Chains A and B, each alone.
Chain A
């Protein structure tokens, strides 16, 4: 299963990287670039939400921090893009460390509220500072080369995906995070330091998000607090992850592709019905939570598991019960005999 996922992922990446050879339409390229970006944002969100069990509504803030750091360094300090992007990643990591220590002590809704408040604070900060351009936002030097950004985005997300695959699905780290998600107290007695693991997960989730923010800023050439620092990024990532399947790597990818495709269709072809988009999306999510709590991919792997490991266990289960039932019946029979005998005597 694991190797299959890796081979399919490599195939998908190769397929994506040859797409520009056949498609030269900038509109399509732009849509694809953004879809890839959302895949990256969704899998990064899932590190914390799905694997560790912490819903981070400040996810969008890291996207904005990455975008603004890159933009400020490029515009104010005239740094080249790649250097500014790298510095943006470091700044995002430092911010994640600073935000993680106080907020990761909280659980459940409290963590969600705290991170949400923190992201609002950062948005307000960007609105009042002069270095960020306030509500007017910032304009970056334009590089009108859609192919460059397509490949840059693809490279960044592919790297993130395989890094995550290695850390979360292959190395012990992913299982340790899941242990924290399932039972934080119990995990401690097994030698796991929850604070350290959670901080690591927080940084691991924030850094790719910041990098994607930086690429986005240079690609779109204009950022403002409303587009990069609003709740939109967190909310959208959450919807994609829940729809696709939390706590898996493939789930968020599927969720991101489907939700983004749906959104694009509305945005491009049905713009008169924008309102419907949110209504339908809301309904889909509500239905998904009720009927597919494991998301699309989660439901598929549980089904498939049922043909492999799970079915085996089911075979063992009833058989044993059957044995016990036989025993009980025999026992009941014997008892009956005794009672009858005694009654007869």
Chain B
């Protein structure tokens, strides 16, 4: 299957199965669980955008949940930037003492943590983003078991972020006035139909497929 065919299929599936809100809920649920498991004051998932070389908050649980989603900063800045480039999870007990911490960035977000746990979100060779857990209890140990747990969550977050990214990417091919945009709109319209009209719509699409695809025509 060609890449464009693949994208259209993914987009049609995505438009039928999940909208932007479901994607946001998926990422938010991962952040919520990470915060809950570590007993932290906040957790966030950031997406790395190659085009602007920036990290963008995609989901935030706890402190900053109402205001941070969509906020962005250079990927070379802060603890998250270091983690993304080093591809290594990191726990810092007191960020005020650490030169990797970008205090001004934190102040801009309205919340300055003391302790940060962060892990890169990786899918194969690609660095997709960063999972951060802010201010778990100070007396919680930060050994290998803790890092492993963080790594497990990072893996889950990376999977979720990858699904969301692919759906968004494919969806953009069907948006606006693009030649194939009508496919996405038809798929969405069909999903809203019920009963005889839905059956008629499916028959019409099957007939259209026979006309358009020479491998299926008689």
A binds B: no
Residues of A within 8 A of B (CB): none
